[in-house]
Amino acid sequence: MRAFGAFQRSSLLLRRRRANNEPYALVPSGSFCTDNGFETTSNGSSRVSIFDRHLKRKQRDRAAWLTRPNDSFVDAVAENLLDRLEDCRKTFPTALCLGGSLEAVRRLLRGRGGIEKLIMMDTSYDMLKLCKDAQQDAHNDNIETCFVVGDEEFLPLKERYACRFFVLALD
């Protein structure tokens, strides 16, 4: 028996539905994969690719265009995260905010936890540009802010760099 790829299976399902004159069925979005989920290494062997960083970066770029300026849910989660920050006794003058809702964390930080410098990092240039534009509109902020396009797997920080990490995952 011949094995069908994900796209071939979904096409076969749609063809069967058309033959029976039934309305089109919803096919799970996972069926529209453009690859087989494997990546080939230099020695020719294949390994499973679970996290597609390129696809995630494109998704974050699209999300930057669709982001609302003030989302009450994101603000509530960021407020909860920053509230927990105040429970920590040790102070770190530098904080690193990885992905998530960078703008909400930066906007609601307002000098909490003794943070003087905030490094905002995301894989998406468009998301960082959105945050940078929002920062220019807010003139009352006295926290030094840096924007870094980078991957969270390969942090552009020196070893033993003491800072707080904010990870607000609402993607």
Domain of 15, in residue numbers: 6-50
The CA distance from 105 to 162, in Å, is 19
Domain total of the chain: 2
Q: Do residues 99 and 155 both lie within one domain?
A: yes
Q: Do residues 14 and 72 both lie within one domain?
A: no
The CA distance from 112 to 26, in Å, is 48
Tell me the pTM.
Answer: 0.60
Sequential pLDDT tens for the chain (171 residues): 444 444 444 444 444 444 555 544 444 444 444 455 555 556 665 666 677 888 888 888 888 888 777 788 888 988 888 888 888 887 778 888 887 677 788 888 877 777 888 888 888 888 888 888 877 766 556 788 888 888 877 777 666 565 666 555 444
Q: Do residues 40 and 108 both lie within one domain?
A: no
Q: Do residues 85 and 154 both lie within one domain?
A: yes
Q: What is the pLDDT, as a whole number, of residue 67?
A: 77
Q: What is the pLDDT, as a whole number, of residue 20?
A: 52
